Amino acid sequence: MLWYKGWLETRFRVLFVLVIVLPAIGFVLRHIDPPVPVAAVEELLNALTFFLLLIPLMLAGAGIKTQCILFGTTKGLHGSMYITLSLPVSRLRLLATRAGLGMLETVGVFAVASCVAWFMYPAPRAYLTVSGLFAHWVTVSICMSAFYFLTVFLATFLGDQEEIAVSGILIVILHLLSKTVSVPSSVNVFRAMGESSPLFTHTFPWASMGVSLGAAAILFLAAMRVVQTREY
Amino acid sequence: MADPVIETRGLLKSFKGLNALNGLNLSVPAGSIFGFLGRNGAGKTTTIKLLMGILKPDGGNARVFGLTATDASASVEIRRRLGFVSEEKDLYPYMTVEQIIRFTRSFFPKWRDDLDRRYLKLFDLPPKRKISDLSKGMRSTLMLLLGISHGAELLILDEPADGLDPVAVEDMLRELVAIAAAEGTTIFFSSHHMEEVEQIADHVCIIDGGAAIVTGSLDDLKARYQRLRIVLGEELQATIHWVDGAEHVRQEGRSVEILASRNVDAILNQARSLPGASVECFPVTLKEIFMEHARRN
């Protein structure tokens, strides 16, 4: 039932993210009337992808501290954390269940957004295939995992609101660095979710996906280490 | 004699160089109602957190049910067998009473539906109400319900009566005694309210500066500690050197008041041997014992 606790904490965040993401997608897609150059579509997709990175910020959690439902007044560590820590479960299970639930919600929200885009707007149907969109969803879900687990890691030692703020700032910095520092394009995770997506290249950006998964695994292990050694 | 349910030896813990626990030795007998007393900041909550694996000690060891509390997997087993009421009395604010019961029940296969129904009624807890809308007292009783209903062998209660009105405190204390008697549950509760502890505890430990300063069965302590009121004869002027055990001696004119922690008979004999002295002996309360030690430390 740890998933149930996590779901009660995040259900309004999922709703909030959908309320933000779906109109944003609609706004972008309404400005694509075929025919437009592919470069313009890539540019719009890049903007949208960066916007989609808000999703993991909102939905990630480490499972020990009690999270506020949305942007409530719960600051720092809520006293109910001691009830969580008194349950007969390991800290690893607390972390893994909460992190797993948030990741599922994240890819779920992105799947809903993709479906809405496909069914409600003519532009995706004109430019994309279902298999291309599915490949894009897989790519973004995997590439997003690094950013998701960055937030999970931060959630192990920061308060609820600080974790969102710090994670957001770090993602913006990484995004700017990816544009200014010469990173091999094959491992540029931001590019993999934008112009190097299978939507345009018709092939998976395996190197970027591998980098992202590797980073996610390292961040999860770091989060696990913090949770197992931290005193509350 | 049965093995103690909780046993600590030389437990040490410090935070940023400040000693919270300073070699705590504790032994809680199985089936006892154990009052863990101390001033705020004496180390009570730190001890409880160490027993539950929330904190790790800097030295010494702690065993609960014979299992090492610092071992991660043993700690899970310990928590499976104990119920806990935290000092904060905070529960998940977004859940309703019935949701948190359903949630907690899922972790404990021995959950007792009869007990949760009984305590919902006894403590007048509305199942559909959100926890954020409950008073601190209601949250306390809800935590107690969650701790008791999973069939815990040990209840660890950190200031359980905080936020309760006097009637609710009486109800809670009565229920704790009933649980201990009916289920054989060991109850370990920390408090700085002496009256509550004296009312139900059969064993106590007074902690100060992170170490146990008085420990034992309440009956033994009460037999050991006596207050003596002596009115000295008119002719006696000299300062009296009392025998060992006279803890707190207060003299005003011919009237002397002594708190004796041991050797009561020897002190009585000494007092009675003084020319013209009249001696009266009174039992002491736990609060007096506590105050005496708190003052001295």
Using one digit for the tens of pLDDT, what is the confidence trace for B186-220? 999 998 888 888 889 999 999 988 999 889 999 88
Residue-wise pLDDT for A87-134, tens only, equals 999 999 999 999 999 999 999 998 998 888 888 877 777 777 889 889
Which residues of B fall within a CB distance of 8 Å from A63? none
Burial class (CB in 10 A: 0-12, 13-18, 19+), B275: exposed
Residue A82 in contact with partner chain B when CB distance is under 8 A: yes
Residue B274 in contact with partner chain A when CB distance is under 8 A: no
- Indicate whether B121 and B86 sit together in one domain: yes
CATH number at residue B85: 3.40.50.300
Q: Please give, rounded to a whole number of angstroms, the shortest distance from the CA of B274 to a CA of chain A.
A: 58
d(CA B143, CA B95): 13
d(CA A153, CA A223): 5
Indicate whether B100 belongs to any domain.
yes
Indicate whether B104 belongs to any domain.
yes
- Indicate whether B207 and B260 sit together in one domain: no
**Averaged over B252-281, what is the pLDDT?**
85
The answer to whether residues A80 and A134 touch, using CB atoms and an 8 Å cutoff, is no
Q: What is the ipTM of this complex?
A: 0.87
Residue-wise pLDDT for A173-183, tens only, equals 998 898 888 88
Q: Please give, rounded to a whole number of angstroms, the shortest distance from the CA of A174 to a CA of chain B.
A: 35
The answer to whether residues B107 and A2 touch, using CB atoms and an 8 Å cutoff, is no
- Taking only residues 74 to 103 of chain B, the set having a beta carbon closer than 8 angstroms to any beta carbon of chain A reads 76-77, 79-80, 82, 84, 86, 88-95, 99, 102-103
Domain boundary pick from B171, B193, B217:
B217
Number of domains in chain B: 2
- Residues B38, B40, B46, B48: is their CA dihedral positive or negative? positive
- Running DSSP on this structure, what letter comes out for residue B35? E
- Indicate whether B86 and B232 sit together in one domain: no
| Residue bearing the bigger pLDDT, B167 or A214 | A214
Question: Helix, strand or coil for residue A226?
Answer: helix
Rounded to the nearest 10 degrees, what angle do helices A38-52 and A130-155 cross at? 30
Residue A87 in contact with partner chain B when CB distance is under 8 A: yes
Indicate whether B107 belongs to any domain.
yes
Reply yes or no on whether the pLDDT at B74 is more than 60: yes
The answer to whether residues B194 and B290 touch, using CB atoms and an 8 Å cutoff, is yes
- Indicate whether B181 and B232 sit together in one domain: no
Which residues of B fall within a CB distance of 8 Å from A86? 52, 54, 79, 82, 84, 86
Domain interval for residue B237? 225-296
Indicate whether B286 belongs to any domain.
yes
- Indicate whether B167 and B200 sit together in one domain: yes
Indicate whether B103 belongs to any domain.
yes
Domain boundary pick from B184, B217, B250:
B217
Burial class (CB in 10 A: 0-12, 13-18, 19+), A211: buried
- Indicate whether B280 and B142 sit together in one domain: no
Return the closest-CA partner of residue B72 out of A67, A85, A176. Answer: A85
